[in-house]
Chains A and B, each alone.
Chain A
């Protein structure tokens, strides 16, 4: 266990390992996304009340789910970088922030587009939507804060603190549909008890959630590789790799 963690902290090892991972993840992610979208858009039956507009669920829910899970990844990496001063953790944190921001933006925009035919409004200041908007600003905040500092060590520390403070928002988003009177429907998929969604609609949704998780892993790894390449451009291990290739 500890040796794996130790290896993860080593840039040359991580660079080689992530290279293999990325080569597998890219085709897997693309095929999962294409399969899920095809299934959700063309094969699944329409919702008996919402008609075909519900098909937005196959991108809206996965984007929102992974945006939330991604925040934990970012905050956890922030905590590790803050406590143990591991450079790789700091790079992970900063690689996750823009991906999370994009996913949150997708959840917000697709939600707005879904809201128009369903609720009759593009936007409402609803508890869940507002807390998702705060999540979007938290992600953007981490990206912007890092750029704002001249001293990158201080910048990484400030970003880590911001991402840790922001975790307060995550349970609020989860619970918002139960705590406040909300237009947003409560969760349809439950781990305990029966889901409130038919399996003909559930399976493509689960497939898309898996696809978005793969996409998150892929883009974070790609961002980390880009960052590592530049940060270690003077290192001998990288020069050897570049020379040998």
Chain B
């Protein structure tokens, strides 16, 4: 992937909770069309950073631009242009698949014809057409995760933020999930993903490794493996962490 224009620019991002510094002066850019991974142990500050970029949390200081919009002054414009899937599963369990899609499609202002077309495509792709009128609460976790991702990108956002999207699902479902991510990239969506699975780090175009609120390494997986003389990302991570 040849770096093109940045869709996310972060300069000197700081987030403090009282005395605790969750994000300590982060600087990075995410380019259009890439899969950008945020890797790190629990509590390294990944979720804090992703929440700030989505407008769910306000930074203590720093300059940030998401999708061409300023994070302080154009928050609502950013929201029209991003998708978000949190580690806490957040579709409505008491609504059916169709009802969830109708709601989210509706609030992003999709017109009905477009929504119906994309819903049909999506359910066929996920092989869930027969379950369209089932309540989300009745579905297995793996299906829910794939569905949550598909709904997060239904309105065709510029960027989708995924916060530990594959937590608690089996390896096969994780593989299928990553296939969905690649398909989204093919459609031109930039993917910002956090994970603590090192095999998933290999799937990213570039990864940024976080520890104690700081970015300690940022490059392609290949370059990082070369730099740390490691066979895989797992070794890279252990060497950095040590």
Decide whether A and B are members of one complex.
Answer: no
B positions within 8 Å CB-CB of A = none
A positions within 8 Å CB-CB of B = none
